[in-house]
Structure 1
Amino acid sequence: MTPSDNAPRRVVVTGAARGIGAAIAGAFVAEGDQVVLVDRAPDVADTAADLGAKSAVCDLGDPDDARRGISEAIDTLDGIDVLVNNAGVFEIVPLLDIEAEQWSRMFDINTRSMLLTTQVAARRMIDQGTGGRIVNMASMGGKDPARGQSHYAASKAAVIALTQATAKELGEYQITANSLCPGYVLTEMGADTRTPEMVAGWSSLSPLGRCGSPDDVAAMAVFLASPSAAYLTGQAFNVTGGMIMH
């Protein structure tokens, strides 16, 4: 796979200024890995400093800047072993009200950015000749769309398909690609709009009786980068507490 099992991995995490991305970055740092956090928000530097990691600022919705930012992050690490494509956007809009621009923006950030970052990272992994791991953030919505999430759900279903195609094309280089499909995860985003009643309703969808935490998702990302996951590729793993089981 990547370096020897005991060597620090070189990890790039996008959308890492806060929330799930920051938790994933922190989990890799806790493993002793070298990590660069990538985000459009300048305060990603503060998050990285708190974790003892590095950072790069770029707009993944802009193709040229996405390539530049990921290349910069990889150069900072002098290579790459793990790419976690976590960056994404979310909004609720009724199907009949979605504008073409909203649809395009959703796919530009949630899906196209993953293609671009994967192209840059995979070329470096291939040149290194040591394999690598790619983990893409999809969503439960990519398998079981909710009302008002047509463009979001479609973009995440596309992530699942892109991940499968990536696994098939890059497997010969010992590069694995898997996607994560979180359910309801309580992060800072949306905290000011959700109510205790909403959280209780979401929690009731899980046999475990709770919503997910960023740490739940981070643990799965770290696992997929571990030696134990060396034979897993092309999969879309539910991290939903049983909210969906397919």
Structure 2
Amino acid sequence: MANIIITGTSRGIGFEMAKLFADEGHQVLALSRNTAPIAALNHKNISSFSFDLFSVIDLEKLKTFLNDHWNTVDILINNAGKLVNKPFLETTLKEFEEVYKVNVFGVAEITKTVIPKMPKNGHVVTISSMGGVQGSVKFPGLSAYSSSKAAVITLTELWAEEFKETGPSFNVLALGAVQTEMLQEAFPGYQAPTTPLEMASYIKEFALTGHTLYNGKLLQVSNSTP
């Protein structure tokens, strides 16, 4: 059984992933600012505490947890995300910064924190978006969000090269539309063909096995536009 860290577990795909892994017997550390939904599960295989990706204090809290409870981290899933849906000319610098703090800088900091605990066959999976893929269909109002999701695609490629001798492996999944609250914020009224549970099931299997065949790769996981 694996030790797995998942960010953004208060709702949607992250919440479903935490349950799926835990039900299979894996040990899960579920990190999000709102811990109430995970705590309500009262699952013996899930640990959690309130966590802000851009908080130095919370990153130290994570280090302490790992030192006290886990010798290794087998899988890190960077799932947390922040979205702003606004015309570019109305998006403030602060709003742009807040999106990048979660989607880029926070991803980088937690990955940096966890890598020393990961074995050579460990796997870091970062969740991006089809909106961040070069050449994909783009939508107005998502300048901050989609550009931040493009940034983590390149980060994944860079990390895979930098750690190719020692591991872990790094891959990034660019998701299409999934029927989540975040999707409704981006595309009000749009009905996605994929449920959070369906996507969580796919990501779970990829996180457990994908590193055997992929490293530094972007996989587009989408059956719709958006």
**Common fold by TM > 0.5:** yes
The one-letter amino acid of 1:226's match is: L
Could you tell me how far 1:47 is from its partner in structure 2? 4.8
Segments ≥4 residues shifted beyond 4 Å: 189-193
3-state SS, counterpart of residue 53 of structure 2: coil
Q: What is the Cα-based RMSD across aligned positions, in Å?
A: 2.3
Superposed counterparts of 1:97-246, under 5 Å: 97-125=90-118, 129-143=119-133, 144=136, 145-189=138-182, 194-195=188-189, 198-199=190-191, 203=192, 211-227=193-209, 229-243=211-225
Change beyond 3 A, Cα 1:42–1:151:
same
Change beyond 3 A, Cα 1:184–1:47:
farther
Could you tell me how far 1:155 is from its partner in structure 2? 0.3
The one-letter amino acid of 1:132's match is: G
Report the TM-score, using the length of structure 1 for normalisation: 0.81
> What is the number of equivalent residue pairs in this alignment?
221
Hey, what's the Cα distance between the residues in 2 that align with 1:188 and 1:73? 30
Q: Deviations over 1:106-161 (max 9, x none)?
A: 10111111111111111112xxx443100001111112331110010110000111
Hey, what's the Cα distance between the residues in 2 that align with 1:115 and 1:48? 29
Hey, what's the Cα distance between the residues in 2 that align with 1:51 and 1:96? 48
Per mean C-alpha deviation after superposition, the further-off stretch among 154-163 and 138-147 is: 138-147
The aligned residue for residue 5 of structure 1 is none
3-state SS, counterpart of residue 6 of structure 2: strand
Q: Would the aligned equivalents of 1:138 and 1:182 in 2 still touch at CA under 8 Å?
A: yes
The one-letter amino acid of 2:62's match is: I
Could you tell me how far 1:46 is from its partner in structure 2? 1.6
Hey, what's the Cα distance between the residues in 1 that align with 2:181 and 2:113? 30
Could you tell me how far 1:80 is from its partner in structure 2? 0.7
Q: Percent identity?
A: 27
Change beyond 3 A, Cα 1:28–1:104:
same
3-state SS, counterpart of residue 171 of structure 1: coil
1:70 to 59, 62, 65: 62
In structure 1, the gaps of 5 or more residues are 1-7, 204-210
Change beyond 3 A, Cα 1:74–1:48:
farther
Per mean C-alpha deviation after superposition, the further-off stretch among 222-231 and 116-125 is: 222-231
In structure 2, the gaps of 5 or more residues are none
Hey, what's the Cα distance between the residues in 2 that align with 1:92 and 1:162? 24
3-state SS, counterpart of residue 170 of structure 2: strand
The one-letter amino acid of 2:57's match is: D
Hey, what's the Cα distance between the residues in 2 that align with 1:227 and 1:42? 28
The aligned residue for residue 32 of structure 2 is 39
Q: Would the aligned equivalents of 2:169 and 2:211 in 1 still touch at CA under 8 Å?
A: no
3-state SS, counterpart of residue 26 of structure 1: helix
The one-letter amino acid of 1:74's match is: L
Could you tell me how far 1:59 is from its partner in structure 2? 1.2
Change beyond 3 A, Cα 1:85–1:161:
same
